[in-house]
């Protein structure tokens, strides 16, 4: 019989419970192993930054398998078609193993797959997903889920951490050799897709993830608590794309940071570990409150009247709002598919408060662009910034884009990197370039309204409007 590993968002060999369990079962039954990836038709019509990175990660993993004498079989078409093909080609399949995921999309896809798998007398087994703790693991004493991060994180910190399944492609290979399944499947569609993924990503896949983790732990982690809020410093881990694709195990990342926790260096690791707990927290929220995918966590805010304005929305998307820190963040997103956390908070707050636009619109835009796009964290982050989620900023505390810029990019170095029109602008005006007089604009080679836009809205006015919008629904 064949034991199938269905890779979805876990393109690694190290600490991969799915691979581990499949091999264990195959060995017990003296069966064969087969690796598959299903190219879901929902993701193939448009190649954006997010899935370009994702597909190239899959291709890197397929290469890693090949280099180690193994094969990642790529199935395409609907779930029904892909799995039927698997059974037609592979013959007697005993079990399909895959890591659990918690979106409504994943749930319905897995249900569809399960029907076909069971019809063919095989079973589908879910293994733990790529989290330090699974969403079902951390619950209150009364058995109910947490709704607030701090008590959740306290329990998360106390809970014993799961053991790691240390393993490399080479370890797996010796076992795969013996268990190898022989089938080939059609991969024409994959070749077409991968041809359309043209971005020259410098860092993807398991090896790059491990290198990044090592570099981060040595160079950045000790002062992470101080550097993490300054976008122009490489002060965060940038591990999120590896966690999202599963090129790195979240438990491995936890262990690496935890091992540096001792004595004087503990503040950095502690601050970092708290962020990893946020990732699990938002996944736990999505698991227990699946309605947050489309609805506000705080029910009282479900009827807010958001503004519709295509023009303003376009300005936000392109980074032409006239607020330098917002524009720099959006341009970073559009160029590299990643944005610093501080800027995600600022740009999300700007769209939902200064423009009073629906957080779902921003969430969808980030989804297309972010190479670390994670439904739970993205929804959580957007609902947080727009004051409608768990632990959210209260609606009356509206970020001032000028003050945020001055605080987190005091010299304007980050702004100048992504908004080159402002590269000669004096520090004094970098957060409010429209305040330059004509002479100063000439000197800075930046004519407001021509080279760089004037502020698209009046922050003070919009702040009042946003507060009114929330207040109306509260009353
Ligand atoms: P580090 O600061 O090095 O943190 C380490 C890891 O902890 C991250 O890789 C991430 O896995 C986790 N983490 C850190 N901060 C958060 C957080 N606030 N919430 C959840 N997990 C966190 N993160 C995503 O991974 N995918 C998203 O789609 C996403 N969308 C976001 C949207 C908004 C509006 C906001 C405000 C935040 C969003 N985040 C998202 C959280 C956070 O911005 C990113 O995880 C972080 O910027 C990734 O960079 P890093 O790996 O250098 O982070």
**What CATH number does the domain containing 223 carry?**
1.25.40.80
* pLDDT(392) > 80: no
- Closest ligand 1 atom number to CA of residue 276: 7
Read off the pLDDT of residues 309-318 as tens digits, 9 standing for 90 and up: 999 999 999 9
Instruction: Give the model's pLDDT for residue 263.
Output: 61
Instruction: Give the model's pLDDT for residue 163.
Output: 92
Read off the pLDDT of residues 113-155 as tens digits, 9 standing for 90 and up: 999 999 999 999 999 999 999 999 999 999 999 999 999 999 9
Q: Tell me what the mean pLDDT of segment 8-31 comes to.
A: 95
**Torsion angle, CA of 250/254/257/258, rounded to 10 degrees?**
-170
ipTM of the complex: 0.99
Q: Would 412 be classed as within a structural domain?
A: yes
Among 272, 184, 183, smallest CA distance to 221 is for 272
* 337 conformational bin, left if phi > 0, alpha if psi -120 to 50, beta if neither: left
Q: Tell me what the mean pLDDT of segment 237-243 comes to.
A: 98
Q: Tell me what the mean pLDDT of segment 433-445 comes to.
A: 97
Length of the chain as a residue count:
475
Residue 464 sits in a domain of what CATH number? 1.10.579.10
Ligand 1 binding pocket mutation candidate from 280, 359, 372 (most atoms within 8 A of CB): 372
352 is in an annotated binding site: no
Last residue of a domain, one of 81, 107, 129: 129
**Rounded to an integer, what distance in angstroms lies between the CA atom of residue 23 and that of residue 94?**
12
Q: Are residues 136 and 121 both part of a single domain?
A: no
| pLDDT band of 259, cuts 50, 70, 90 | very high
Q: Are residues 121 and 134 both part of a single domain?
A: no
Last residue of a domain, one of 261, 288, 315: 288
276 is in an annotated binding site: yes
Q: Would 197 be classed as within a structural domain?
A: no
CB atoms closer than 10 angstroms to residue 302: 12
Instruction: Give the model's pLDDT for residue 176.
Output: 82
Q: Are residues 28 and 104 both part of a single domain?
A: yes
Q: Would 34 be classed as within a structural domain?
A: yes
Instruction: Give the model's pLDDT for residue 113.
Output: 98
Q: For ligand 1, atom 46, name the residue with the nearest CA.
A: 341
- Closest ligand 1 atom number to CA of residue 367: 28
- Closest ligand 1 atom number to CA of residue 239: 51
Q: For ligand 1, atom 17, name the residue with the nearest CA.
A: 278
- Closest ligand 1 atom number to CA of residue 281: 20
Q: Tell me what the mean pLDDT of segment 148-164 comes to.
A: 96
Q: Are residues 99 and 29 both part of a single domain?
A: yes
**Torsion angle, CA of 175/75/131/122, rounded to 10 degrees?**
-70
* pLDDT(236) > 70: yes
* 444 conformational bin, left if phi > 0, alpha if psi -120 to 50, beta if neither: alpha
* pLDDT(185) > 70: no
* pLDDT(417) > 90: yes
Q: Are residues 262 and 399 both part of a single domain?
A: no
| pLDDT band of 391, cuts 50, 70, 90 | confident
**Rounded to an integer, what distance in angstroms lies between the CA atom of residue 469 and that of residue 460?**
14
Ligand 1 centre to CA of 79 (Å) is 30
Read off the pLDDT of residues 268-325 as tens digits, 9 standing for 90 and up: 999 999 999 999 999 999 999 999 999 999 999 999 999 999 999 999 999 999 999 9
Q: Are residues 340 and 351 both part of a single domain?
A: yes
Ligand 1 centre to CA of 451 (Å) is 33
Q: Tell me what the mean pLDDT of segment 83-110 comes to.
A: 94
Q: Would 180 be classed as within a structural domain?
A: no
Q: Are residues 325 and 351 both part of a single domain?
A: yes
What angle (nearest 5°) sits at the alpha carbon of residue 68, between those of residues 67 and 71? 85
Q: Would 198 be classed as within a structural domain?
A: no
13 is in an annotated binding site: no
Residue 12 sits in a domain of what CATH number? 3.40.50.620
Instruction: Give the model's pLDDT for residue 171.
Output: 83
**Residue 183 vs residue 430, higher pLDDT:** 430
275 is in an annotated binding site: yes
Q: Would 120 be classed as within a structural domain?
A: yes
CB atoms closer than 10 angstroms to residue 185: 18
Q: Are residues 155 and 46 both part of a single domain?
A: no
Q: Are residues 412 and 449 both part of a single domain?
A: yes
For residue 1 the two structure tokens come to 């019989």
Task: Name the residue with tokens 């926790």.
Answer: 261
Last residue of a domain, one of 231, 255, 288: 288
Instruction: Give the model's pLDDT for residue 175.
Output: 81
| pLDDT band of 169, cuts 50, 70, 90 | confident
Q: Would 200 be classed as within a structural domain?
A: no
* pLDDT(475) > 90: no
Record the pTM: 0.97
Read off the pLDDT of residues 27-65 as tens digits, 9 standing for 90 and up: 999 999 999 999 999 988 899 999 999 999 999 999 999
Instruction: Give the model's pLDDT for residue 186.
Output: 64
Ligand 1 centre to CA of 418 (Å) is 20
* pLDDT(265) > 80: no
Q: What is the tally of structural domains in the chain?
A: 3
**Rounded to an integer, what distance in angstroms lies between the CA atom of residue 263 and that of residue 249?**
26
Instruction: Tell me the percentage of the chain whose pLDDT exceeds 70.
Output: 98
Q: Tell me what the mean pLDDT of segment 323-339 comes to.
A: 98
Q: Would 284 be classed as within a structural domain?
A: yes
280 is in an annotated binding site: yes
Ligand 1 centre to CA of 380 (Å) is 10
Q: For ligand 1, atom 21, name the residue with the nearest CA.
A: 279
Question: Using a 6 Å CB cutoff, which residues line ligand 1?
Answer: 228, 236-240, 243-244, 275-276, 278-279, 282, 341, 344-345, 348, 366, 370, 372-374, 377-378, 380-382, 385
Ligand 1 centre to CA of 341 (Å) is 6
Ligand 1 centre to CA of 238 (Å) is 9
Q: For ligand 1, atom 15, name the residue with the nearest CA.
A: 275
Ligand 1 binding pocket mutation candidate from 381, 382, 384, 388 (most atoms within 8 A of CB): 381
CB atoms closer than 10 angstroms to residue 399: 21
Q: Is 209 helix (H, G, I), strand (E, B) or coil?
A: helix
400 is in an annotated binding site: no
Query: What mean pLDDT is reported for the chain?
Result: 95
Q: Are residues 329 and 235 both part of a single domain?
A: no
Ligand 1 centre to CA of 293 (Å) is 17
Q: Are residues 157 and 218 both part of a single domain?
A: yes
Q: Tell me what the mean pLDDT of segment 355-372 comes to.
A: 98
277 is in an annotated binding site: yes
Ligand 1 centre to CA of 377 (Å) is 7
Instruction: Give the model's pLDDT for residue 184.
Output: 63
* φ and ψ at residue 45, rounded to 5 degrees: -70, -35
Ligand 1 binding pocket mutation candidate from 208, 338, 340, 377 (most atoms within 8 A of CB): 377
Q: Are residues 47 and 72 both part of a single domain?
A: yes
Ligand 1 centre to CA of 76 (Å) is 31
238 is in an annotated binding site: yes
* pLDDT(264) > 70: no
281 is in an annotated binding site: yes
Range of the domain at 214: 130-161+206-288
């Amino acid at each position: 019989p064949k034991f199938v590993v269905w890779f979805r968002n876990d393109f690694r060999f190290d600490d991969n419970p799915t691979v581990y369990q499949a091999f264990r079962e195959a060995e017990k039954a003296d069966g064969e192993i087969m690796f598959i990836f299903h190219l879901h038709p929902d993701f193939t019509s448009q190649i954006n930054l997010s899935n370009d990175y994702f597909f190239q990660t899959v291709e890197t993993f397929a290469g890693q398998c090949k280099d180690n004498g193994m094969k990642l079989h790529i199935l395409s078409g609907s779930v029904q078609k892909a799995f039927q093909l698997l059974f037609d080609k592979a013959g007697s399949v005993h079990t399909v193993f895959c890591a659990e995921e918690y979106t409504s999309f994943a749930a319905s896809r897995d249900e569809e797959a399960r029907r076909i798998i069971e019809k063919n007398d095989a079973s589908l087994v879910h293994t733990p997903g790529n989290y330090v703790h699974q969403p079902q693991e951390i619950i209150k004493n009364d058995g109910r889920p947490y709704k607030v991060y701090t008590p959740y994180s306290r329990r998360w910190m106390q809970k014993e951490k799961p053991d790691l399944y240390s393993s490399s492609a080479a370890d797996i290979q010796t076992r795969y050799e013996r268990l190898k399944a022989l089938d080939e499947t059609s991969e024409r569609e994959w070749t077409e897709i991968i041809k359309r993924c043209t971005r020259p990503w410098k860092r993807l896949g398991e090896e790059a993830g491990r290198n990044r983790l090592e570099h981060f732990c040595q160079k950045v982690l000790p002062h992470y608590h101080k550097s993490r809020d300054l976008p122009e410093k490489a002060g965060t881990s940038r591990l999120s794309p590896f966690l999202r694709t599963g090129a790195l195990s979240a438990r491995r990342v936890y262990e690496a940071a935890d091992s540096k926790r001792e004595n004087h260096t503990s503040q950095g690791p502690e601050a970092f570990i708290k962020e990893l707990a946020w990732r699990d927290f938002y996944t736990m929220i999505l698991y227990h409150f699946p309605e947050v995918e489309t609805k506000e966590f705080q029910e009282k805010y479900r009827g807010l009247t958001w503004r519709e304005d295509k023009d303003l929305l376009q300005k936000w998307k392109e980074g032409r709002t006239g607020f330098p820190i917002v524009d720099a963040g959006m341009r970073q997103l559009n160029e590299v598919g990643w944005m610093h956390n501080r800027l995600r908070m600022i740009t999300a707050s700007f769209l939902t408060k200064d423009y009073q636009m629906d957080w779902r619109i921003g969430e969808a835009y980030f989804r297309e662009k972010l190479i670390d796009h994670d439904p739970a964290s993205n929804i959580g982050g957007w609902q947080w910034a727009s004051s409608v989620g768990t632990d959210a900023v209260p609606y009356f505390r509206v970020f001032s884009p000028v003050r945020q810029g001055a605080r987190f990019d005091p010299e304007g170095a980050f702004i100048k990197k992504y908004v080159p029109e402002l590269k000669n602008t004096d520090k004094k005006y970098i957060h409010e370039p429209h305040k330059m007089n004509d002479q100063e604009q000439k000197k800075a080679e930046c004519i407001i309204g021509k080279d760089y836009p004037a502020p698209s809205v009046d922050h003070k006015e919009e702040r009042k409007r946003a507060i009114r919008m929330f207040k109306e629904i509260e009353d």
